[in-house]
Structure 1
Amino acid sequence: MFGIIVRGMAMGMTEVVPGVSGSTVAMILGVYERLIYSLSIVTTDRRNEVIAFLVTFGFGMVTGFASALFIITYFLDNYHASTLLFFLGIIVGFLPYLWKEAQQQTETGLKSKHYIIMLIFISTVIVGQLLSGIMSVDINNMSIMNYAFLIVSGFIASTALVLPGISGALIFMILGVYEIATDSLLTGNLPVILSIGTGVIIGVLLTSKLIRFLLANYSAGTYSAMLGLVIGSIYAISDNLSGQVDGQVILLSLVTFVAGFVLVVVLKRYQDSRFDDI
């Protein structure tokens, strides 16, 4: 049981960081298949088989998420640009691996339709970022549409739990609700927390089977969509860079960018060596 809690904590901590996939960490820790299987049958009459595991794992995730949330929020508040460059380094470092994985899903390599899918999702992220200012959410003056948008955001982000390579925090950042979500969790804003949480829970229950189906039957197209989201997120994060720029900030940002890049390389090498030993 303790081992399951620790694995849940590791996955929960990574879900706070845009660009680090909790599903990838679950793979590294050897719990991914069990998690996806458990989520896929929790709505069936076989749920009793997996309830104990999901509750234990979920407790670990919540604990890890909460502890990492304070750390990430501190760095975003005090070292905004450098922290975003760390996220950017993670994303840039992960792209070659995700591209390789997409290529491996088809014997003949990616075709024109896959690049079209990729471009559609890149464009979706960019357009969404451009419209984020228009559709900004004021947590002190929420409307029904704002709550509906948060529920939908949670629903979309929930796919990160079952899609290796995609980060739930990254989805929130693309949709422009990352800081809203983190601030609400820290301040205990229950209406916002419940809205996003409702979307996440519904999404996990409904999309786990869909994602498994897409990966099993349309894996290349699914990975192409993931690539589009990740590539587009480079623009989304870059667009949020702000604050005073001087030599110290540039140097620190360069260091954090490299640190994020190296972190992904180390994680992937550990994952690959682990699977080679199995």
Structure 2
Amino acid sequence: MVLKIVQYYLPVTIKGILMGAADVIPGVSGGTIAFITGIYETLIASLKSINSSALRKLFRFEFRSFWKTINGSFLLSLFLGILISIITLSNTIVFLLENHALLLLSFFFGLIIASAVVIVRKVKTHSLIAWTAGLLGMLSAFLITSLSPVATPESWWFIFLSGAIAICAMILPGISGSFILLLLGKYSFVLEAIKEFNVAVIAVFGVGCLVGLLGFVRILSKLLQRYHDQTMMLLAGIMIGSLTKVWPWKIAVADAVADGKKALLFSSNVMPETYLQATGSDPMVTSVMLLMATGLILVFFLEYVSAKTHNNLADYSS
């Protein structure tokens, strides 16, 4: 039994670690990594299964049935990986973001392009409606990632709403939940609350995340069931539209130069020649191209590995 658990769920924990690392990067979504590693639809279905029927089993102390209903081993393995990543890798990712952003973003740029290709390959019928959904997804992501932050209240209801919206964005491939928080004017506020262990703010924000997540996955699940191809193209479009946030060569806007994270989020995309002229730094074109290619290759390799292991995981969890 222990050997089977390690065999089937250790890879899920590793995928959770990758998701957690991606969530630390402003402009990169953990949902993208879930798609890359072939667990996105399993994640949506597992979260959707946390409903009133499952909770009744829990309250009746039918723990084994409850655990099986919600695919508990999968969710535990995944969220354990995310937690491990946030605790152990966040400082490393932040260091790379602040000191080697050009190379880090190049890698994620390749990842996201290949991920969009993988999603499109899952589409069975390339109808006009499906391609229209893809175009709408691309335009929506482009518009969202072009917005500027606004001043917002610090009332409990808005903190709750911020959590609900941010978690929905986080589970969507291509849109960063941390970026949405920054747009809502609550990125620094929430980080400060976590740093100071402000239980009231953390609790309200956490409940908002939980409500938003459990509600949103039901919508996504229904869309995937009834309009699979259109939804897949919509998600692919969102990922393509979000590429502007991970374009490697950026020039920070004047009021964000002193802040590494703001410099990444609020900046102008330029070509390598303009980057060299504006910053005096080497655009490292060859290294960027190699890292983009590495990201592309890694996605297709992970897709191959996931295809080999996905059936075994599904059989074991059923």
| Bucket of the pairwise TM-score, normalised by the shorter protein | 0.7 to 0.9
State yes or no: 1:231 paired with 2:240: yes
SS at match of 1:46: helix
> What stretches of structure 1 of length at least 5 have no aligned partner?
161-165
Return the alpha-carbon distance in structure 2 between the equivalents of residues 260 and 185 of structure 1. Answer: 33
Choose from 124, 127, 148 the match for 1:110.
127
1:163 matched to which residue of 2? none
State yes or no: 1:210 paired with 2:219: yes
Confirm or deny: 8 A CA contact 1:8 1:59 kept in the other structure: no
Aligned-pair CA distance for 1:22: 2.2
CA RMSD of aligned residues (A): 3.9
Confirm or deny: 8 A CA contact 1:9 1:65 kept in the other structure: no
Return the alpha-carbon distance in structure 1 between the equivalents of residues 207 and 44 of structure 2. Answer: 20
Instruction: Letter of the 1:172 partner, please give it.
Output: G
Kindly tell me the number of residue pairs found equivalent between the two proteins.
257
TM-score relative to the length of structure 1? 0.72
State yes or no: 1:62 paired with 2:83: yes
Confirm or deny: 8 A CA contact 1:118 1:224 kept in the other structure: yes
After superposing the two structures, state which structure 1 stretch, 149-158 or 93-102, moved more: 149-158
Aligned-pair CA distance for 1:63: 1.7
Deviation sequence 1:186-207 (CA, Å, 0-9, x none): 9726567656544432233223
Return the alpha-carbon distance in structure 2 between the equivalents of residues 262 and 186 of structure 1. Answer: 39
Confirm or deny: 8 A CA contact 2:102 2:248 kept in the other structure: no
Confirm or deny: 8 A CA contact 1:7 1:26 kept in the other structure: no
State yes or no: 1:221 paired with 2:227: no
2:39 matched to which residue of 1? 27
2:163 matched to which residue of 1? 151
Q: Percent sequence identity over matched residues? A: 14
Q: Give 4+ residue runs of structure 1 displaced > 6 Å after superposition.
A: none
CA gap of 1:148–1:239, structure 2 versus 1, over 3 A, is: farther
Deviation sequence 1:192-225 (CA, Å, 0-9, x none): 7656544432233223333222111111121121
2:269 matched to which residue of 1? none
After superposing the two structures, state which structure 1 stretch, 116-125 or 149-158, moved more: 149-158
Return the alpha-carbon distance in structure 2 between the equivalents of residues 173 and 245 of structure 1. Answer: 30
CA gap of 1:272–1:186, structure 2 versus 1, over 3 A, is: farther
Instruction: Letter of the 1:227 partner, please give it.
Output: A
1:258 matched to which residue of 2? 293
Choose from 174, 180, 203 the match for 1:175.
180
Return the alpha-carbon distance in structure 2 between the equivalents of residues 158 and 114 of structure 1. Answer: 23
State yes or no: 1:73 paired with 2:79: no
SS at match of 2:127: coil
Deviation sequence 1:74-130 (CA, Å, 0-9, x none): 11011112211111110112222211112x1x3xx222x222222222221222222
Instruction: Letter of the 1:75 partner, please give it.
Output: L
State yes or no: 1:99 paired with 2:120: yes
After superposing the two structures, state which structure 1 stretch, 246-255 or 66-75, moved more: 246-255
1:271 matched to which residue of 2? 306
Return the alpha-carbon distance in structure 2 between the equivalents of residues 5 and 274 of structure 1. Answer: 10
